[in-house]
Structure formats: C-alpha cells, structure tokens
Structure 1
Amino acid sequence: MKTLDWIVLIGTLSFIVIYGVWKTRGSKNIEGYLKGDNTMKWWTIGLSIMATQASAITFLSAPGQAYDDGMRFVQFYFGLPIAMVILSITVVPIYHKLKVYTAYEYLENRFDLKTRVLTAILFLTQRGLAAGFTIFAPSLILSTLLGWNIYYTNLVIGLMVIIYTVSGGTKAVAQTQKYQMGVILLGMVAAGILVVKLMPENVGFVDALEIAGKTGRLNVVDLEFDPTSKYNIWSGLIGGGFLALSYFGTDQSQVARYLTGSSIGQSRLGLLFNGIIKIPMQFFILLIGALVYVFYIFQPAPLFFNNVIEERTIQSEVGAEYLDKKERYDNINTEKRQYAIGYLEALDEGNDLEAKKKVQALQQADKKSKAVKKEALSVIEKADPNADTNDTNFIFLTFVINYLPAGLVGLIIAVIFSASMSSTSSELNALASTTIVDIYKRLYKKNASERHYLNASKVFTMFWGVYAILFAMYANRLGTLIEAVNKLGSLVYGTILGVFLVAFYMKNIKARETFIAAIISESIILLCFFFTDIPFLWYNVIGSLIVLIVAYLLKILRPDSNITSNN
C-alpha cells in the first residue's frame, strides 16, 4: 500500500470511530443504551439493517463466488422482500406494542421462562461465534495478501468496534452505520467502474457482459427444482425466505435495529427499504465478480489466488508438477483471450456463424481451464494436506491490490474494515442486550438500579467484544467465508423461527409442547448437518416445520393438557 492509501484508510476509520463516540455520548439509562430512546427514522433503520447484514464477508466472498460459479448466489436473497412484508405486517406491531428490549422477551409473555432462555441461549451461541467470524474473515484475507500480522489486524478491528459500541450503545451502532454504508457503496461503485475502464480499449461494458454471459457467469436465475442444488429460485424463495424470516424476525442483531424506530411506521419503512434495496445491491456486487472474471481473460490470470499457499506449493517437492499445471493454465487463458476477441469481432461484423464457433471454443477452453485448476488443487493438497484449497475469498482483493490506483486501494480496504465493524458492532450490541435482559436481569439481578444495568450492559458489550477477538485469534480454516457464516446461522435459525411461528400463529399450543418441539428440531438439524448432504438453506425450512408439526402433534396427544402459557 502507498502513502495515499494509508491516509485514506486511517482517515476514514478514525472519522467513523470518533464520530460514533462523540455523537452518542452520555447515555443515561438502559432504554437509551439498548433501544436508542426509540428516536430513529426509517432511513437510519434501513441503512443500519443493511450494514448489519452486509459484513466484510459479503464484499470479499461474493465477487469471488461470481468469478468461479457465476451470479446464481443472488437467488439466496429472492425470498427476502416477501419476508420483509410479512414481518412488517405481523411482527413489528407486536414488538412495539409490548415495548420489548429483545425478541426473546416476547416468548416469556407467550410461553414461559425456559422457552425464552432456550432461544436466547441458541442466539448467544450462534451470534457469539459469528461475531468472531466477522472479525477474522477480513483479517485472514488482508494478512495473506498484504503481509499484515493477522493477530494485530484482529485486534485493531475488534478494539475500534468495542470503543464506540461500549461508549454509545445502539445509537452509536446506528449512527456509525450510516457512514459505513456510504463508504461501502462509494468503494464498490468505484471498483465496478474501474474494472470496466481497465478492460482493453475495444472491450466495453456491453462486450464484457456478452463474454460473461456466454461463459456462464451471468446465471442469475435457475428455475429447475433440485433439492440438492444450493442455489436455485426455489431454494432462494423457500429456504432463503425462511432464513430471512428468522434472521430479521428473531435474531436480536436485526430486531434491535428496528426496535429503535420512533413508531411502527418508521420500523416498517426501514424493513421495506431493506427488502427493496438488498437484491439490487447484491446483484451489483456479484456483477463486479463476473466482470473481474472477464478482466482476467484479457490479463494474466493467477492459477491460485492465495499467493502464500501457491508459493509454498512451488517450493515443495511437488513444485515442478504445480508449475506444469500453471503453464498449461496460462496457455489455455491465452486461447480464451483469442476466442473472446474473435467472438467480439464476429459480433461487430454481424457474422453469426463465426460468433457461434468462437463462443463454443471459448466455452470449451473455459471448461479446460477449470479442469486444470482442479488438478492444480490436488497438487496443493499433495504439498500440504491441511491447506485450504478454496481461493474464492482472495479473488476480488487480489484484483484491487494489483490493478486499482493509489487511494482507491485504501478506500476498498476501508470498505472491508467498515463492513466488518458495522456487522460486529450490531452483533456485540445484540449479544449484550440479550445477555443483560434475558439472562442477567431476568435470572440473577432482578431489582437493580438503572445505573447498574447501564454499567452492566457496557461490561457485557466489552465481554462479547473480547470473546469475538479471542475467537478470531484462534480460528483457522473457514472455507468459503460467506457460506460458513450462513451455515452457522442456519443451524439454529430454523428452530428459533419455528418457536416464533408457533407463538404468533398457533395460539392454542402452549409452552411445554413448544419447548419439546424445539429441542427435537435442533437435534435433528444437527444430525442433518453432520450426517447428510442436505444444502444448508433447507435447514431453515426443516427446522421450522419440525417445530410446527411436533408441537401440533404433542397438542393432539395431550388435548386435556393443563399446561398453560403466561400469556
């Protein structure tokens, strides 16, 4: 990184932290610290919701996924707008009417204490680990590509978040996320424009889309119903829809964002804003990855984007074998370049027959390059059986570091830091809220003063921040980062959503049936994870349906049950 990059990076991050501390100083009670005194407007809520979901993993992994696999990952979000409408109609009024601090507080009103505590513990377990992921993911990539010390990078990200989140609570999270989203959008738009500008002079934006489409990188929609496929329109609408209902309706890191709304209408508008903007934003991020793929057709493309592992392989006893694969890959890439140029020339000349021949040749060359890369990954595993052979997370940042001008490199790295900080701050705030309201205040210290709970909230925020940093320090292989985080959430979201669906819509089912159904559901989901190949998006559907069905069956088997809820 050049001096200008450091100035942009340090200046951007310093402004966000200082602004967050200054703007939200002086919380007097737990209401202000955890709910922002219910003063937030819809645009702040909407941007905060988006910033919470759009972690650094989104901007590191998503372009790489499009580079390798095309844009079909966007289908993951197709169920989100529907979920936002459902939550706006049903869930938001309930939370506002009851004036709850957390989503799980409602469950004690509807069922009993043990159901509330169970869902809170499931959330704390999953979200505590996820907070470590959101710190570790960018640190891993930045340390590998820039040579930074991964432990110092973890520490810097974690401490910056702790400073303003402990200081200002929910208000600090919401206020800083507005500017973090601004930095993120500015950086990604700049990267998208420059990847097109850096193409050869005779290759424009439309030409790049033509090549991306013909090589399968614009595979946005797959209409085939295939339960074994991770990403198609059905897994997106059904599995992704259930995941969105659970994440935005029951995960405190998101619920806390719209609980700060000054009214039901403001909270609803914030959710609907997210439902409208999220898919186009994710489409654009994936499109950048597809364009980076086209860019590397016209430039020397790395065989493996994690240069540390690649260099280690070259220095090993199988180095000659790897270099042979690399030479073959480079030769195929040269062929792809020639076929792509020939295809565009044939299009300009209106020669459809020649264009078709060049496309077929380009597609065959693309298949050959994938086959050679697969062989190269086997060589890497020979050199080091424990090596992570998934380089998806390194693709976009490799392009940024090697080809973007000074200043913009610093801005993109600021994007990654900002995204990590925005997600982590929401997670720490939500973890502290759930710990203080659902565990500490409810079970251990029921009648303390407002000042005591405010100080305890800050202590728990700091505790979870340190916990996340420690997890990040000791985390190692994560595979595809964006999938790792969603898999982790899917292990518990289905069960939690099922409990809330029973609470909202099955009023005759009581606490005992729901609690037993939740335990059974979570056990089955863990069995599916460890012993089956079911794609993770379906865990959300399976978990929810098991809770609903088992709770209903238990009610039928015990029609004269004297167990009543607290409602």
Structure 2
Amino acid sequence: MHIPLRTADLILVILYLAGITWFGLRFRKQGDRSIKTYFLADRNIPWWAIALSIVAAETSTLTIISVPGIAFTGDFGFLQIAIGYLLGRIVICLLFLPKYFRGELMTAYQLIGQRFGSRLHRLTALLFLIMRAAAEGVRVFAVAIVVGVALGTGDIASIVILSLLTLLYTFEGGMKAVIWTDVLQMGLYVIGTIVSLWSICSHIDGGAHTLISVASAAHKLTVFHFAWSVSQTYTFWAGVIGGCFLTMASHGTDQLMVQRLLVAKNLRESRLALLSSGVVIFVQFTLFLFIGAGLYVYYGQSGIAPHVASADRIFPQYIVRQMPVGISGLMIAAILAAAMSNLSAALNSLASTSMVDFYLLRRPDVSGAHKSRLSRLMTLGWAAVLLALAIVSRGSGHVLEIGLSIASVLWGGMLGVFLLGTVTKRANETGTIIGLLVGCVVNLLVWQQSGPIHMSLLGYSVLMPKIAWTWYVAIGAAITFIVGYLMSLFTSRQGTRSYT
C-alpha cells in the first residue's frame, strides 16, 4: 500500500536526485578521455575515498532494507558473516593484490589471461558479465520497494527514473564520478541510518535501554550459533568460512570491487583501503541490525502489526509512516544513494570488462578516441540490460539473500580459478576450464535444491540436506580447485604459465 510522502520530504528527495546527478556530472573530462581515465580514474584516488567507495558498493539498497528485516524476524546472526568478510579481506591482501599490481591491469580477468591463456580469460570475463548482470537486476529492483512505498510511482517507473539519472553521470564521468559520488552518498546513508535508529528509540517507551533489554530477552541480540549444520544460513561456521570465501570471491575476483582496488596509487594504499572498508562494514551491519531489533520492540509495544508483503518492506514503511518531517525524506534519499552508488559501479565494471576483455582482445590497435566512444556506448548498453533484468526479476522474499545467492552460484567457480592460478604451478588452462564448469554446474544444482534429497550410496540410503547459500562459494571453489588440479595432471601442460 502506498503512503504518500509529505511535501517537505518529497522536495528533499527530488533535490537529492538532482544534486547528486549534478555532482557526478562535474567529473566529466573535457581533455583526456582515454579508457584508463574512464575506467581507472588515472589511479590517483586516495585510499580513504576508495575504502568508502568499496563500502558504498557493498552496502546496496538490499543491505539497508533487508538486514533490518532479517533482525526483525530473527537475530544478529548475520554478523557472523561480517567476521568472515574481515578474514577474506586479509587473504585478498596477501594472495591476490600483489599479483594485480605487478602489471598495468585494468580488469581482474587479464590476470587469468596472463596465467592461463585467452580461452579462460574470456570464459571468466563472460561468467562475470552473466553473474553481475543477474545479481544487479535484483539489486535494482530493490529500489522499487523503497520508491514504490514512498512515492507510489510503481515498480517499473521507479526503476526507470533512478536508472536514467545514474546512467547520466556514470556515462559522462566514468570511474572518478563513481568513486566520489560513492563517498558523498555513503556519508548520506550513514547519517540517515544513525538518524533512523535515533527516531526508532524515540518512539519506544524507555528509549535505547528498553530496546536493548526487550530485544535481549527475546534473543534478538544473539550473534553466535555454533550448530554444525550446512542447512542453517547463519551459523558461526557458515559465517566465518562461508563469509571468508564469499569475500575472497566478491572482492578478489569480481571486477565490480577489483576495479576499485586498481584505482589506488600503489599496493600499500590498495591494501589499506580494503582492510579499513571491512571495519566500516562491520559497524554498518551492526547499525542495520539494531534498526531491525528496534522495529521489533516498537511494533511489539504499539500492538500494531506491520502489514507488509515481506520483511524487506518493514523498514521502508516505518520511514514513511513514523519518521518526522524531513527525516523521512532524508532516509529515502539515503536509500536511493546506496542504490545509485551500486548501480553506477556495476555499469562501469560491466563496460570495462566488455571493452578490455572482449573487444580489445580482438582489436587492440583501435584509436584512443574510438575506445573512449565505444566505452561509453557499452555503458549505455549495459544500462538497458540491467533495466530489463530489474523489471523481470520482481518477486518476493528477502531480496538480499536472493541477490547474494545468484552471485554465489558463479563466484565459487571464479574463486577456484583464481586460487588455481595463484597457489599452484601445475594447473593448466584445459584442466582449470573443466574444473570451473564442474564447479558451476554443481553449484547450480545445489542452488536449485528445494529441500533434502534422498540418495542411494553403496546400498545405503543417504539424506542430503538443503544447503544454505552461505556455503555456495566455498563449495564451488573447493570443487573447481580439486577437479581443476586433478584434470590438469591428466591433460597436456600446454597453456600452463606463471605470473610474472
């Protein structure tokens, strides 16, 4: 049900949309329009801005609206994954980043080309395009949940408006516009999150003290679950192991994040940006979970049940119905900020991979002006693709979990390839391709598993439990690595190279 925003809030949202678009357009380059400038911002961005941009890309609209919903219906178990996120960042700093900074790389998949060859180079780049487009379509749809509740414009109209505004400054300003609008937008939604938590506390009799005591008594603040179960999404083992593998894949092999790490001046600043972003993410997740716990206490005290189709809509509904004039508009703008920062990064990374890993591999000698023009056209083309995918991906359930599940299916195989290329010398291109395909197929089967499966093994009946999405990347990476390594031993060593 649509609850109209008050006039002052609506004006604030419109001013934000106009202001951030104007701010992004200020980074349009009139002189140097090379693809290095367009995709890597001349590698002169300070580490702290990169760190905030990483957080902005990681903290999409899915996070802001879905994590409070998870706490509302469950507890703080989601933080176990954030612990794994920190561990994964450490592994990336030690294992992957030194390789990326040994050459003038523009995409993550050029590294695979150097190590294995052009076939695997193109295959990993293609899987990234498929995975990022599918996952981003779900993320863009998440915007419609917020805008639809606040403005009543409908899903499709909401998606179109936001996509066009984001495309405008991404198309013109490139990666520099993406980074600096991320910094501004992150500041906005952090302020909005803090203000939201304050607003919820002010609506609870007894304030923050009551929030903590009631939520604690209802076990809402419980963080650790040590159950040995692959079917439970949020356990300590799924969080630490699964979260570590998830981050190694998302931040170490996905062009969306790797591109940000490559814009740093040097390896040291890239590492500093990545590690500091992990600390900020942990704090942010904690704030979002406290919002969910606060909403649980608030609705429990008021005796009014939130009439929403899914838990993802609880927080947006509270923003529009209960927050004071001005603050509602601020928070809606903050959520739109997260959406626009993530969408702009996706457009730039999809365009850079299409250009560098496909077009320039076939036509490396085209002029700089042609490269620049085509890079912008690819940005435009991917905007149309994401718009279409967002429209067809409308559905129900926790959109955060849906988005991460889609990405995790292919991330596992991708991570396995990077690990084979980084920690082994015997892996070759043919064996690794076989491992990648097997890993992705197994993950697809696991993803489509609707419940426990009975299997017959050596005359015994075995019950295969439904596997939670938090394990997808670890499973896919392990299968890809093992199969790829074994198949490399049985195939020709032609195509085996070493990183230089």
Normalising to structure 2: TM-score of the pair?
0.93
Q: Deviations over 1:35-60 (max 9, x none)?
A: 11000111111001000111111111
The answer to whether residue 327 in structure 2 is matched with residue 394 in structure 1 is no
Q: Deviations over 1:232-272 (max 9, x none)?
A: 11101101110100000000000011100011111111001
User: Which letter maps to 2:495?
Assistant: T
Q: Deviations over 1:446-467 (max 9, x none)?
A: 2101111111110001111111
Size of the aligned set, in residue pairs, is 478
The answer to whether residue 489 in structure 2 is matched with residue 556 in structure 1 is yes
What is the CA distance between 1:25 and its match in structure 2? 3.1
1:148, 1:263 → 2: CA distance?
Answer: 45
Which among 118, 121, 130 is matched to residue 123 of structure 2? Answer: 118
CA contact (8 A) 1:62 1:286 kept: yes
What is the CA distance between 1:158 and its match in structure 2? 0.2
2:26 alignment partner, SS class: helix
The answer to whether residue 453 in structure 2 is matched with residue 534 in structure 1 is no
What is the CA distance between 1:440 and its match in structure 2? 1.2
Question: 2:402 is matched with which residue?
Answer: 484
User: Which letter maps to 2:345?
Assistant: S
What is the CA distance between 1:566 and its match in structure 2? 4.7
CA contact (8 A) 2:79 2:285 kept: yes
Question: 1:448 is matched with which residue?
Answer: 366
Change (3 A) 1:548 1:428: same
The answer to whether residue 190 in structure 2 is matched with residue 180 in structure 1 is no
1:23 alignment partner, SS class: coil
What is the CA distance between 1:189 and its match in structure 2? 0.4
1:303, 1:394 → 2: CA distance?
Answer: 9
Question: 2:153 is matched with which residue?
Answer: 148
Of the structure 1 ranges 511-520 and 4-13, higher mean CA displacement relative to structure 2 is found in 4-13
1:184, 1:485 → 2: CA distance?
Answer: 21
CA contact (8 A) 2:145 2:313 kept: no
Question: 2:237 is matched with which residue?
Answer: 234
1:8 alignment partner, SS class: helix
User: Which letter maps to 2:468?
Assistant: P
2:105 alignment partner, SS class: coil
Question: 2:424 is matched with which residue?
Answer: 506
CA contact (8 A) 1:131 1:428 kept: no
The answer to whether residue 58 in structure 2 is matched with residue 139 in structure 1 is no
1:446 alignment partner, SS class: coil
Question: 1:473 is matched with which residue?
Answer: 391
Q: Deviations over 1:176-235 (max 9, x none)?
A: 0000001100100000111111112xx131222111011121121112222221101110
2:150, 2:174 → 1: CA distance?
Answer: 34
1:298 alignment partner, SS class: helix
Q: Deviations over 1:58-90 (max 9, x none)?
A: 111111111111221221221111111111122
Question: 1:494 is matched with which residue?
Answer: 412
2:480, 2:95 → 1: CA distance?
Answer: 19
Which among 49, 54, 65 is matched to residue 49 of structure 1? Answer: 54
What is the CA distance between 1:505 and its match in structure 2? 0.4
Q: Which protein is richer in helix relative to its size?
A: 1
2:135, 2:165 → 1: CA distance?
Answer: 18
Of the structure 1 ranges 136-145 and 220-229, higher mean CA displacement relative to structure 2 is found in 136-145
Question: 1:338 is matched with which residue?
Answer: none
1:208, 1:218 → 2: CA distance?
Answer: 10
- For residues 66-465 of structure 1, what are the structure 2 equivalents within 5 Å? 66-144=71-149, 146-200=151-205, 203-302=206-305, 304-306=307-309, 391-443=310-362, 445-465=363-383
1:96, 1:218 → 2: CA distance?
Answer: 41
Normalising to structure 1: TM-score of the pair?
0.82
Q: Deviations over 1:85-117 (max 9, x none)?
A: 111122112111112110001101000111111
User: Which letter maps to 1:434?
Assistant: T
Question: 2:457 is matched with which residue?
Answer: none
Change (3 A) 1:70 1:301: farther
CA contact (8 A) 1:517 1:546 kept: yes
CA contact (8 A) 1:130 1:488 kept: yes
User: Which letter maps to 1:509?
Assistant: A
2:389, 2:481 → 1: CA distance?
Answer: 34
Question: Which contiguous aligned blocks of 4+ residues in structure 1 show a shift greater than 3 angstroms?
Answer: 555-558
2:185, 2:146 → 1: CA distance?
Answer: 20
Question: 1:543 is matched with which residue?
Answer: 476
1:211, 1:28 → 2: CA distance?
Answer: 57
CA contact (8 A) 2:416 2:477 kept: yes
User: Which letter maps to 2:357?
Assistant: D
CA contact (8 A) 2:96 2:252 kept: yes
1:304, 1:63 → 2: CA distance?
Answer: 16
2:167 alignment partner, SS class: helix
What is the CA distance between 1:302 and its match in structure 2? 2.0
1:456, 1:274 → 2: CA distance?
Answer: 32
The answer to whether residue 65 in structure 2 is matched with residue 60 in structure 1 is yes
The answer to whether residue 17 in structure 2 is matched with residue 7 in structure 1 is no
User: Which letter maps to 1:563?
Assistant: Q
CA contact (8 A) 1:78 1:233 kept: no
Change (3 A) 1:266 1:24: farther
User: Which letter maps to 1:446?
Assistant: P
CA contact (8 A) 2:50 2:273 kept: yes
User: Which letter maps to 1:432?
Assistant: A
What is the CA distance between 1:292 and its match in structure 2? 1.0
1:20, 1:148 → 2: CA distance?
Answer: 25
User: Which letter maps to 1:540?
Assistant: V
Percent identity, please: 30
User: Which letter maps to 1:148?
Assistant: T
The answer to whether residue 484 in structure 2 is matched with residue 565 in structure 1 is no
Greater C-alpha Rg: 1
Change (3 A) 1:145 1:41: closer
